[in-house]
């Protein structure tokens, strides 16, 4: 039996204090680097390491760190200065009532006034969140999540011996062992399709600076960085300074098929699904990967989608992961077919299939073979093959990180090329 109540670890972490960041100085330091000369003659891995090292050193000089305690959250949005003042008065009224300096009715009056103002402030905050949902969905759903009675925290977990595991590091190791256990073994060797598929069509498909700038401009600065510590806020602030070197690295990676090791690593965030929270199998592994690596994935995705759409490879019946299609279009097509058959008096049978751990167990060789059958160019297929090959992951629970473990199958959940 696992007791619900127990002492949990509290974690203090260091984060970048963007409020005190000197972005002008950061732009100056990164902008004066002669990237073409510095990256010339280097491999993709060497070019990436030089870029990453330069950016992180400049970042260290211009953005201070601050300590953040995970145990305590931010002050609620409704808790303004006026209510803080009223809470102080209420507290003082209680002390005076206990000392006999106020009557009970006077204390109750102060309590009622304070409670009324709090209700009003909370209601105004909720109206503000609801009316502003289009512009800021994240804040709205974060508030809804905070109001749920059940929290999505990890654990405590139950070991195979039936013992409760509550330590952050121990839970991270336990979850990583489980996530890795569902992978299928790799067959080994390079699929023949990598060597036999068609060459790149023309140099018109080169990766340009403007293309990279476009993707950098769409970054969500509230997202977390991957294991390489490349924060989307910094990349977006330095859009003019980093788009050129990133375009050079991306083009070099596509031409050679070489993938920087950082792009093949993932911090796994365990997300509770349903069922008993003590069971590691009831958590979904979501990958936090390199932000620049995901931009390169966007470029590869555009190449693949352009080819598939241009050659009409994907059938009209597929709605998942297809541009301008969704669950809604799938349901419309489904009900249109069903109602049509019912109107004709015909019988209808519906069979639903759900493959367990589908995205984690899919064979890399099968994926690459399918890309070859769709006649994608050799450079793109080789890049995807190398991107899938020799990946590794670690699980992070409240700042505690497990050891790295290899990934032998599946595609990372949370990546651009994955689900």
Place of tokens 């032998």: 408
Average pLDDT over residues 93-116: 89
- pLDDT beyond 70 at 117: yes
CB-count burial class (<10 Å; 0-12, 13-18, 19+) for 166: middle
Which whole number is the average pLDDT over 302-322?
86
Q: Report residue 144 as tokens.
A: 């809804």
Once rounded to an integer, what is the mean pLDDT over residues 188-193?
A: 58
- At a CB cut-off of 8 Å and minimum separation 6, what does 212 contact? 243, 244, 246, 247, 250, 295, 299
How far apart, in whole angstroms, are the C-alpha atoms of residue 46 and residue 5?
Answer: 50
Integer Rg of the chain from CA: 27
Q: Going by C-beta distance under 8 Å and a sequence separation of 6 or more, which residues neighbour residue 168? A: 9, 11, 397, 398, 399, 400
User: Which pLDDT band, with edges at 50, 70 and 90, does 131 fall under?
Assistant: confident
Helix intervals (H) in 99-231? 104-131, 137-147, 168-181, 193-196, 209-217
Could you read off the pLDDT of 35-72 as tens digits, one per residue? 999 999 999 999 999 999 999 999 999 999 888 765 54
**From CA 179, how far away is CA 410, in angstroms rounded?**
11
Q: With contact defined as beta carbons under 8 Å apart, do 88 and 416 qualify?
A: no
Please give the share of the chain, as a percent, with pLDDT higher than 70: 89
Please determine, for residue 145, whether its predicted confidence score (pLDDT) is greater than 80: no
Pseudo-torsion of CA 338, 342, 344, 347, nearest 10°? 90
- Contact of 47 with 106, CB cutoff 8 Å: no
Q: State the average pLDDT for the chain.
A: 86
Among 7-11, 114-118, 125-129, 339-343, the least confident range: 7-11
- Residue 201 pLDDT level (bands cut at 50, 70, 90): very low
Q: What is the pTM of this model?
A: 0.76
Is pLDDT above 60 for 106?
yes
């Amino acid at each position: 039996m696992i007791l619900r109540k127990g002492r949990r670890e509290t974690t203090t972490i260091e984060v970048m204090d963007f409020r005190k960041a000197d972005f002008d100085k950061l732009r100056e330091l990164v902008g004066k680097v002669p990237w073409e000369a510095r990256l010339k003659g280097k491999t993709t891995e060497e070019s990436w390491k030089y870029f990453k090292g330069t950016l992180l050193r400049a970042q260290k000089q211009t953005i201070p760190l601050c300590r953040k305690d995970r145990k305590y959250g931010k002050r609620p949005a409704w808790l303004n200065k006026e209510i803080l003042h009223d809470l102080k008065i209420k507290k003082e009224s209680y002390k005076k009532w206990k000392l006999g300096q106020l009557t009970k009715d006077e204390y109750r009056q102060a309590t009622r006034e304070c409670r009324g103002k709090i209700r009003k402030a909370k209601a105004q905050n909720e109206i503000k969140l609801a009316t502003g949902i289009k512009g800021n969905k994240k804040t709205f759903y974060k508030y809804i999540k905070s109001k749920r009675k059940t929290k999505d925290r990890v654990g405590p977990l139950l070991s195979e011996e039936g013992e409760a595991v509550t330590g952050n590091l121990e839970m991270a190791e336990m979850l990583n062992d489980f996530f890795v256990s569902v992978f299928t073994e790799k067959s080994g060797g390079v699929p023949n399709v990598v060597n036999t598929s068609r060459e790149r069509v023309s140099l018109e498909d080169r990766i340009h600076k403007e293309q990279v700038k476009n993707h950098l401009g769409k970054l969500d600065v509230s997202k977390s960085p991957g294991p390489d510590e490349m924060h989307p806020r910094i990349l977006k602030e330095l859009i003019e300074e980093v788009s050129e070197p990133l375009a050079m690295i991306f083009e070099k990676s596509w031409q050679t098929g070489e993938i920087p090791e950082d792009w093949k690593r993932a911090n796994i965030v365990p997300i509770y699904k349903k069922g008993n929270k003590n069971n590691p199998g009831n958590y979904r592994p979501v990958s936090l990967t390199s932000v620049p690596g995901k931009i390169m994935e966007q470029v590869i995705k555009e190449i693949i989608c352009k080819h598939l759409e241009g050659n009409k490879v994907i059938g009209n019946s597929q709605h998942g992961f297809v541009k301008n299609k969704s669950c809604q279009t799938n349901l419309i097509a489904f009900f249109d077919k069903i109602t049509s058959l019912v109107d004709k008096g015909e019988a209808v049978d519906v069979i639903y299939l759900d493959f367990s751990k589908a995205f984690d167990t899919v064979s890399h060789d099968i994926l690459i073979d399918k890309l070859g059958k769709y006649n994608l160019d050799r450079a793109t297929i080789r890049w995807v093959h190398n991107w899938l090959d020799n990946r590794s992951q670690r699980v992070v629970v409240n700042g505690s990180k497990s050891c790295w473990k290899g990934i032998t199958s599946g595609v990372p959940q949370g990546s651009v090329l994955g689900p």
